[in-house]
Structures are given as C-alpha cells and as structure tokens.
Amino acid sequence: MRINSINITAFGKLKNKRIDFSNGFNLIYGDNEAGKTHIAEFIKLMFYGVGNKGQGLNNTRKKYKPWDDAKMGGSIDFTHDNRRYRLEREFKVSQSTDNVVLHDLDKGTHESISGSEALGERFFGISLSAFEQSVFIDNSVAFSGKSDGGELNLKLANLLNSADEDVSYEKIVKNILSAKEALVSKNSKKGLVPELTAELNELEAEKAKSTAIYAAALEKEKELDRLRIRLEEKKQSKVQIFEKLKQYNSFMLKKQLTTFKAAKEECEQIENKLRLSDNTPIDAAFHESLELRLAALKSKIAITDEKLKEIEHDTELLAEISVGQPNSERLLSELHDKKQRLAGLLENTEKALAENTARLTLLRAKKADVKGKPNSALIIIGALLFVLGAVIGLFYKFLLPFMAVGIILTILGVTLKVKPDFSETDKEIAELEGTIAAKEDEKAALRTDIADTEQQINDYIIKSKTDASLLEAKKLEALKKRTDIVAENNELERDRSEIFAAISRFRPVYDVSSAEAALKEMEELLHALSLAKIKAEAAIAHTGCHSDAEALERLAALPDTPEISENRAELDEAFRLLQEECAELDKRITALDSEIKAMTSGVRTPAEFEREEAEKRERLSAMTAFREEAEIALSTLSDAYSLQRRSWGSKLENRALKIFTGLTGGAYSGFTVSKDFEIAVKGDADIVSHSAEYLSRGTIHQAYFALRLALSEFLCEDSGPLPVILDDVFSQYDAARTKAGLEFLKEYSENNQVIFFTCHKELTENGGADLIEL
Amino acid sequence: MENKIRFLHTADLHLGAAVSSSAAISAERRNEALLTLEKIFDIANVKDIPLLLFAGDLLENNSVDPKYFEAFLRCVSDNSDKTVVFAAGNHDPLTADSPFLNYKLPKNLIVLDREDTEIQLDTLPVRIYGRSFSSVYMKGKPNFSIPAKKDECLNIMVLHGDIGYDLAGGYNTVTKGFIEMSGMDYIALGHMHSALPPQRLNKTYFAYPGTPEPHGFDETGEKGVIIGEIGKTELKYEFLPVSRRTYETVEVDISGTDTGVAIAELVLSMLKERYGEGFADKLYKIILTGEIAEGVKIDTAEICTRLSPSLYFVKVRDNTRPLVNLDILKNENSLKGRFVALMLEKIEAAAQSDKEKYKNALNIGLKAFSAEVSYDEN
C-alpha cells in the first residue's frame, strides 16, 4: 500500500494544499508552523476519521477545524493491491456525520462510506491504535522532556508486551480487577456483591419473620372465625329467647292490661257504693272524720256510763254502809266469841301437853332402872369344851387345847352381860317427844290467834267510829256527781244525733252499733277501693302506658297471644346468660382482633418482600454474570499475553537490534528486554548490557524508534509493506546518528514507502530522498 | 333477548406501594395511583358501566395509610348507581386488620367472603361468584365449591389468583380445569401485573387486566383496565390505558457519538420521536448500545444528569461495545489482537446460551485496554 498524493481543501491552517509522494523515501521539509504535523494528522484522520471527544486542543476535530471556517476536508490518492483509489472526506460535527466517498480510479466507480467506518482498517489492515503504534511515529515521546527515560522505558515495555506503547498489560488487568473488586473485594468482605448479599439475607430473614407472623396471625384468624361462629350461634339463641320474651311480654302485657281493666271496673263499682244519699263521693277523709267523731262519742258515752256506774256504786256503798251498822256489832261479838274459843283451845292444848310430858318422864325413868345378866349360853359351851378337852385329852393329847378354849368361853360368858329389849319404849318416847313438840307449836299459834283477834276487836271498834263521818261526806259528793252527769248526758245526745245524721247519709243508723257497722262498711269499701286502685296501678306500672285511656286502647289493640310455657324468670335467666356469653365472646373477639392487628400492623407482607427480593436477585445475578465475564476476560487476556510473549520473544528483539544497529551505525550489538520489561543495550566493546536508565536520551530514542519500526513490521506482517509516516523522529540525534538514521531510512524505503517530516534543513542536504518543501 | 352486561375489570392497583426509585418520586407515584383510581371510576361513569370488578390487591397491604382506602370508599360512595365487587388478594387479605372489615362500607360495594360465595345482584341480571384471600397465602382449589346456576342470569366470578398447575402454590392457583368446570360466563382475575387479554376455555372467558398503574421497569408499556360486555355467548371487550405514566425500557444506538452532550441529545430526540408529546412524563431505563470509538468512556451518571431536567425519571445503562473491526483486530500481532482472536474462538465454541456471556467478556476486555472498566448499575 502506498500514498500517491494528498489534496487538502481545508485542514487547520492549511488550505488548498497538494502534495505528491514518491514510492520511496519522501523527505518533507518545512520550518516550524509550516504544517508538517497537520499533514501527518490529515493522513491519519482521512483514513480513520476521528471522534469529537475531548475539550480544546485535545479535541482533534476541533483542533484542525479550518481557521476561516471553510469546509474541513480533502482527498488522498493511494494504491492498494495495485488498484488506485481516491478517498474524499468532508469532516462534519462528528465522525458518523462525515461525508466520505471512495473512488476506484481504475474502475471509475465510487462508493459512499459511513463516516464511522475506519477505512484505514480496510487498506492498512490494522486498527487505528495499531496504526498509531507502528507506522505513524511522531516526536511526542522525543519532546516529552522526560530525562530519566522512565516513560520511554515503559512505552518500550508496553510495545514489547502488548504491541502498543500506551497499553500496559498490568494496567489492563488492573482495569478489569478494579471493576471486579468493586463488586467483591479481595478478602470477599466488601463490595457491591457482599453488600447486596447481606441485604438479600436480611430481606430473607425479614420475609421469614413476616411469613411466621402472618402464619401465626392466620391461626389466630381461624380462632377468630370459630369465635365469630359461636357468637353468631349465641346471638341466634338470644334472638330466639328474645322472641319468646317478646311473646311472654305480649302475653303478660295483655294479662296486665286485662287485670288493669278489671281493677278499674272494680274501682268504679266500689266508688258507686261509696256515695252519700246526695251522690257525693265518700273519701277516706270523710270516713276518718266520722270515725273519729264516733270514736269520741263512744268514748264520752263510756266515760258517762263509767261515771254513772261509779255514782251507782257509791250510792250502793253508801246504802250498804247505812244498812251495815247492826252487822258491825254482830261482827264484834263474833270476834269476842272467837277469842273465847281460842282460849279454850289453848287450855286443852296445854293440858294435853302436860300429860304427854309426864308420860315421857315416866318412860325415861323406867328405862334407866333396868340392869344386864351373864351370858349363860357362852358359859355352858365353855364348860362343855373344857370337859370334853380334859376327857379326850387323856387319850389324845393333841385335843388338850380345847380345854383352854372352854375356859376362855366361860370367862367371856360371865363377863359379857346380856341387856333387856327397850325398842317399844324408845318408840313411844320418840312419839311423845313429837307430840309434845306439835302441841308446843299449836299452843304458840293459838296464842298468836288470840292476840290477833284482840287486835281486830280493837281496830274494828276504832273504824266503826270513823266510817260514820265519812259516809256523810260521800253522800254529798255522790249527789253532785249525779247532777254533773245529767248535764254531760244532754251534750252527748246532741253529738250522737249529729253523727248519726251524718252517717245516715250513707246508711241509716239508729245506734252506735249500727253507726259503727255503717262506718265499718264504709271503711271496707274504701279499703277495697284502695286495693283495687293499687291493683290497677300495679297492673299498668310496667306496661309503658301513661294513661288509663292509653292502657285500655292498647288492650283493645292487642291480639290474642298464646300462653308461654316457660316462666319469665327462666327466660330472663337464659337471656342474661346468653347476653353474658355474647359479651364475653365479643370481648374475646375484640381482644383477638386487636391482637391480630397489632401483630401485623406495619409488617410488610411476604409478597412485598418477594418483589424487592426479585429486584435484588436480578441485580445480584447481573453482578455475578459481570464477574464471570470479567474473569473470562482476565483469563483470556492472560492466555493472550502468554501467547504474545511466546510468539515474539527474541524475534522482535532481533529485528529491533538490526534496526537499532543500522540507526547507530553499528555502535551496539545487543538489544534485550528483561522480564521486568527493562530495555538494555550492549555496545560492541561492552561485556554487559546497559539498562535504559544509564543510556543517553538519544540512544533511548533510537532504541525506541528501532522497536517501533520492528513492531510495525510485525503488526503489518499480513498487510504487506505499509507507508511509514515519521514526524521529526531524529530531533534528539547527533549528526552522526542522524546521518546513520537517514541512511537506514534510504535502505528501509526500498521496501516501504517512507514519509519523513522534518524542520531540520541539514537533513535535506544528505541526498537520497525525494525532497518536498512546504 | 339475551342478557348482556357492561363491566369494567381491574386489579392490582397496589395503593400505597413504594416504587423502586427515589423517595420523592415514590411518594408522588403513590398519589398518582389515587388519581388513576379516580380515573377508573370516571371512565365507568362516562361509559355508563354499571358493574366494576376489582380482583384484589387494591392496597399494597392492610397497614397502608388509611387515606388510600378512604379514597376508594369515596369513589364507591360517589357512584352509588354502580355495583362494585371486590375480592381481596394476597396483599390485602380479608384478615382482622383489613379495612374492608373495619370500615362501614357503602351499600353498593360487595366484598366477597373468604369462603366460596354466590351473590345474586338485586339491580342487575348477574350472579357474582368468588372468594377473598383469607391470609397472605392461600392455596388454590381444583374447583369452585358452588356450581354455577344454569339460567339466563350471567355468572361472573371475581378471583385473585395465579394461573398455573401447582395447587400447592401460595397464591390461590387457578388451573385451567378450574376455569373449564366453573360454568362461569366470565372470570375476572387479578394477581398478574401484565395484562392477559380475554381468552376462552370451554364456555368461560377469563382475563387479567394487569396493574392499571405500573410500579417498576418489570411492568413496562401501557397499563389499563378491561372494558367488556359479556353475554351468554359472546364477550366484546377493549383494553383501555389508564395509567398516569408508563415505564419504558429503550435501547438507543449511540454509535458514532462520543460525548455526554451528544448522547443525551440523541436519546432525547429518539424519545421525542418514539413517544411524541408526552414523552417527558414517562419513566425510562435507557440502554445505550452500539459501538463506541476506543478511548471514549461512557459516563452514564453524566448522561443521566443531562437527561434528568427533560424527563420525569431516567436511568441509563451502558451496553455499548468498543468500535473495532474484530476481523482486522484478531489478526494483529499485538496483545489486543491475540486477546480478540482468543475471545472470538471462545465465542465460536460456546454454546448458544453462553455466547452472550463471552461477547460481554470480549467487551470488558476491549474496554480495559483503553480505560477503566466499571460495573454499570446506574
């Protein structure tokens, strides 16, 4: 592939600029600001386009925007695979909007190309980055101002390892690892994945908790249902009882109202009876008044009668006293007789007493004169025993003691005397002593009676004298009382007439008894009326009626109600129990209801967790997939790196050394890259290699340039020789090495088109190159 | 003349639910769901629909702010000429804490019991069947325990459940057998947030309206309600979008652009073109695709910041690939060339299901050559 010419319509400061290139070594000379770099960039941008990225001068498209706002663009003629092409590009705002036309000059055809398509890839066979790393070599490194060579060394290492001076294998790995580690840290404890996993675990735990709570709540709900069913049953029972109660109440109401009606009728009947002759109704006050007046009348009559009785009694007593004088004398005589009789009795008693005392004295004396006699029986027995003992003891000595016993018994018979029997005498004495004592008592009593009788005689004599004067006084008093009672009796008769007249307005009465009977009847009627009224009131009391008329009206309206077999108390009790049970069930239902509400209040349902869980799992799955993909990328990258290192090895080094030797005029014979990507060179006379950091800037640049050229050959192995675009790459070289470099390029241009830009006039004087002056 | 009834079928509004975005947007979205609820009733009014079927998950849970349920009650009360049927779902089961059991409900609101239920409507020639969730989990049944009556009256079932085969699942699995044997004219289902247009098994039509107001990027596109007219032999229906906003996942090819400004402009122009006037009101997940020149770093956070003033909500994900000619690159005698060659070999050898994974690995590797790689989770 070679570039035949470029035709710049407008590009930065360049306008209507045409340059024709030879197939060999093209040396383009121009002073600073002549547009050398513009031309190099133009070639690159024509083939690869450029994005609109970056700000200010970093934005290539803006950087080369024509100064006069002309349409940026131009054309390039080139030969590829022996066919001539012309590439036209008008640069627009972005790469995708560029107008790109490719003319096949041999065929005379053309095609519109998408601005986004990198035609460079089609014709150079390499990507933009590879283009920039190989055939497009500028002096940016040379002019970077770095003195230690570290940056250059890094670029060389990158070139060797990745064939891209800006691409570090370590950096690529780090780029991927950092993304991976943002998800899961090295120690697996930090990062988005552990965080999300922890959130998921927490969510699952919360969901499990929620599920458990709702399961427990469900059990309670079932219990609640059972309670509600029971409550409903109880309520139905209550309704049944209530219906019975209603029937009962209806029945009872009718009964009560019927009773009320009967009581009212009874009242009416009684009230009809309780009327005076002039039809005036009798009330309790009227009756009470009459009763009080009659009672007072009766009391007065009783007092008058009592007084009359007293007067009669006094009269009788006075009469009795008057006729009682002779009797007093007879009584006194009787008392004297009595006294004499008692004296006679006393005399007899004293006489009998004397006789008994004498007899007693006699008996006592008689008893004292009688003495005792010896006990002959003992004496006889004692004598017999003595004789027998003596006789038999002659033969049988052991019986001799009987003689002693006989003697003792005989002595005892003589000593112990026997007295005669005085029991009859003693008895008589005792009887006499009792009789004497009784007579003594009788004697004392008679004496007392005699004394009393004498006292009575004396008292009577005194009393008789006093009674005579009193009698006269009482007679006068009795006369006065009689006069008073006559007056009272007249007043009484008036009262009686009035009261009887009043009562007779109800019932005719003739005496107190009939008046009392009438009042009694009146009282009974009033009492009956009162009872009937109470009965009526009691009957109407719980009916809710507010008037008799209402009660009677309701009674008339009530249908016939069958009698209820249960009694009210049973029904009430059953209803009360049901009410209590319902209240208790209600209480339990409310409590359970509240308990369930409290359990689930604010608790998210498992379904809510599921949505969040699904979202998090999706995220986790995406992260896991990314990690797996990153791992694949890393693993493949590692394989690619091994392949790269294996396939290049000393081959790249050898080619770089050959170029390096040419550039340095054979000053160096060795060119190595260490495992640590250190560049080292060895001179002909050197025994050891020199690390890049010990080399001059110029030598480092030559090594870099050599490696870039070697690399471009490797990168473009399959594409055939490509034009090499070099922008003042010898600026750091001394005169000898510049000369050597130019010689090398002359040789190199035999196979590759070389487009070399420089601002150094002296380079144009070496010859061997097709000079183009700007 | 055949009985026909017009109805509105909705479900899964999830009033009070948080959405997975910023707190401010989450709060606003919760309020917007209320507006959607009101809009549903407005539609019923405008279209003179006498029967509204709510197939569960009206609330996110039974503990949400009472204002959401009270708003629902207001809507029902304000439309006393309509019959509203509700079957509780797994999010708002008919448990002790359910507001449906703790509020005085309007007479025109029918809340289905936790047991299989049959209700003959007074005002319409319709019998309602169904049951509510009794807990946050509820197993399905092979069939409905109350056989549908066979007469001129329309049999409509309202049910929250998951269509499937496994009756042991916790979300009231509704099997095809259940539907076929139900004898219903229409089964109004809820639970799935994506709409399933009416289908017919045996003589029974069934459908999921999906959520009327979406909650995340797993619920993209238009969301709405089903408006239908059901008879004994035929169902006519339309799907009516009602959501205040939609979630959209949009892929934008940004090949050739290389700055945040250009990418943001490109994305906006594309959204305007695709969604027209209301494009700014949607919630977007923008996936950047295409090929980006080497060295260009896509800063999704910056792009988000640039887009945010113009869009209600946006997040950006970078799925671009470096702009390289792999066929050229793979032949390069460089580390990159060898890497590409090896990766292409691996992609070629990988099973079809793994190819994407290896392509992504290639992408990661290529990006790492020129810039830091980061896991993009914007």
Which of A48, A52, A203 should we substitute to test contact with B (largest number of B Cβ atoms within 10 Å)?
A52
Is B135–A218 a contact, with Cβ atoms under 8 angstroms apart?
Answer: yes
For A95, the closest of B90, B256, B377 (CB atoms) is B256
Residues of B in contact with A619 (CB under 8 A): 377
pLDDT given at position A385: 82
Distance CA A636, CA A644 (A): 12
Write down the mean pLDDT value for chain A. Answer: 83
Residues of A in contact with B375 (CB under 8 A): 179, 182-183, 192, 623, 626
The answer to whether A758 touches A724, Cβ cutoff 8 Å, is no
What type of residue sits at position A287?
H
Residues in CB range of B81: below 8 A, 6 or more apart: B50, B108
pLDDT given at position A410: 81
The CA–CA distances, whole Å, from B128 to B53, B115, B150, B153, B185 equal 10, 13, 13, 10, 11
Q: Containing H/E element for B114?
A: none
Residues of A in contact with B287 (CB under 8 A): none
Distance CA B136, CA B94 (A): 9
Distance CA A46, CA A100 (A): 9
The CA–CA distances, whole Å, from B126 to B4, B217, B342 equal 9, 38, 69
Interface contact B369, partner A, CB < 8 A: yes
Lowest pLDDT segment from A268-272, A647-651, A758-762: A647-651
Percent of chain A with pLDDT over 90: 21
pLDDT (average), residues A720-739? 81
Residues of B in contact with A164 (CB under 8 A): 334-336, 369
Residues of B in contact with A132 (CB under 8 A): none
The answer to whether A720 touches A1, Cβ cutoff 8 Å, is yes
Which range is most confident: A52-61, A181-190, A578-587, A610-619? A578-587
pLDDT given at position A61: 79
Residues of B in contact with A95 (CB under 8 A): 256, 258, 293
Residues in CB range of B248: below 8 A, 6 or more apart: B220, B221, B275, B282, B283, B284, B285
Within chain B, what is the greatest distance between any pair of CA atoms? 85
Q: Alpha helices of chain B — where are they, by DSSP H?
A: 23-46, 66-78, 99-102, 176-182, 260-275, 300-307, 326-329, 335-349, 355-370
pLDDT (average), residues A130-159? 58
Scanning every residue of chain A, which has its alpha carbon at the shortest distance from the alpha carbon of B191? A607
The CA–CA distances, whole Å, from B223 to A520, B16, B243, B288 equal 102, 18, 6, 25
Rounded to the nearest angstrom, the minimum Cα separation between A55 and chain B is: 10
Residues of A in contact with B291 (CB under 8 A): 116
Rounded to the nearest angstrom, the minimum Cα separation between B190 and chain A is: 14
- CB-based burial of residue A97 (10 Å sphere; 0-12 exposed, 13-18 middle, 19+ buried)? middle
Residues in CB range of A227: below 8 A, 6 or more apart: A585, A588, A589, A592
Residue with tokens 């083939």: A47
pLDDT given at position A144: 36
For B357, the closest of A95, A96, A625 (CB atoms) is A625
**Model confidence at A56: pLDDT above 90:** no
Is A214–B367 a contact, with Cβ atoms under 8 angstroms apart?
Answer: no
Residue B4 backbone dihedrals phi, psi, to 5 degrees: -140, 145
Interface contact B21, partner A, CB < 8 A: no
DSSP character for B353? G
Rounded to the nearest angstrom, the minimum Cα separation between B335 and chain A is: 4
Residues of A in contact with B216 (CB under 8 A): 611, 615
Is A53–B258 a contact, with Cβ atoms under 8 angstroms apart?
Answer: yes
For A127, the closest of B17, B332, B373 (CB atoms) is B332
Rounded to the nearest angstrom, the minimum Cα separation between A65 and chain B is: 18
Residues of A in contact with B368 (CB under 8 A): 172-173, 175-176, 179, 633, 637
pLDDT given at position A308: 83
pLDDT given at position A417: 66
- Own/partner contacts of A293-298, CB < 8 Å, gap of 24 or more, are A293/A495, A293/A498, A293/A499, A293/A502, A294/A499, A294/A503, A294/A512, A294/A515, A294/A516, A294/A519, A296/A495, A297/A492, A297/A495, A297/A496, A297/A499, A297/A512, A298/A512
pLDDT (average), residues A268-277? 91
For A596, the closest of B96, B294, B342 (CB atoms) is B96
Residues of A in contact with B364 (CB under 8 A): 176, 179, 626, 629-630, 633
Is A592–B96 a contact, with Cβ atoms under 8 angstroms apart?
Answer: yes
Which range is most confident: A651-655, A731-735, B337-341? B337-341
pLDDT given at position A567: 80
Q: Give pLDDT < 50 ranges for chain B.
A: none
Q: Which of B18, B10, B22, B8 is nearest to B315 (CA)?
A: B22
Which range is most confident: A379-393, A463-477, A484-498, B341-355? B341-355
Q: Alpha helices of A187-277 — where are they, by DSSP H?
A: 192-273
Residues of A in contact with B335 (CB under 8 A): 161-164, 167, 169, 172, 637, 640-641, 644
Q: Which two tokens stand for residue A689?
A: 């290699």
pLDDT (average), residues A112-135? 78
DSSP character for A297? H
Distance of CA B36 to the CA centre of its chain: 14
Interface contact B353, partner A, CB < 8 A: no
Interface contact B348, partner A, CB < 8 A: no
Residues in CB range of B37: below 8 A, 6 or more apart: B13, B15, B71, B72, B75
**Model confidence at A185: pLDDT above 80:** yes
Q: Which two tokens stand for residue A319?
A: 């009469």
Which range is most confident: A78-82, A638-642, A712-716, B81-85? B81-85
**Model confidence at A326: pLDDT above 70:** no
Residue count of chain A: 774
**CA atoms in the 13 A half-sphere facing the CB of A284:** 6
Q: Containing H/E element for A634?
A: helix A606-663
For B90, the closest of A118, A605, A715 (CB atoms) is A605
Scanning every residue of chain A, which has its alpha carbon at the shortest distance from the alpha carbon of B343? A636
Q: Which two tokens stand for residue A614?
A: 């699904």
pLDDT given at position A143: 34
Distance CA A732, CA A744 (A): 16
- Which residue did the predictor score with more confidence, A516 or A382? A516
Residues of B in contact with A647 (CB under 8 A): 333
Interface contact B319, partner A, CB < 8 A: no
Is B358–A632 a contact, with Cβ atoms under 8 angstroms apart?
Answer: yes
Which of B15, B333, B340 should we substitute to test contact with A (largest number of A Cβ atoms within 10 Å)?
B333
Residues of B in contact with A178 (CB under 8 A): 372-374
Q: Which two tokens stand for residue B16?
A: 């009070």
**CA atoms in the 13 A half-sphere facing the CB of A162:** 26
Is A637–B259 a contact, with Cβ atoms under 8 angstroms apart?
Answer: no
Residues of B in contact with A717 (CB under 8 A): 333
Distance CA B342, CA A641 (A): 11
For B134, the closest of A221, A604, A632 (CB atoms) is A221
For B95, the closest of A178, A210, A221 (CB atoms) is A221
Rounded to the nearest angstrom, the minimum Cα separation between B319 and chain A is: 12
Interface contact B364, partner A, CB < 8 A: yes
> What are the pLDDT digits (tens) for A670-722?
766 654 545 677 776 666 666 666 677 777 777 777 877 777 777 666 667 88
pLDDT band of residue A667 (cuts 50, 70, 90) is: confident
Write out B266-319 in H/E/C secondary structure.
HHHHHHHHHHHHHHHHCEEEEEEECEEECCCCCCHHHHHHHHHHHCCEEEEEEC
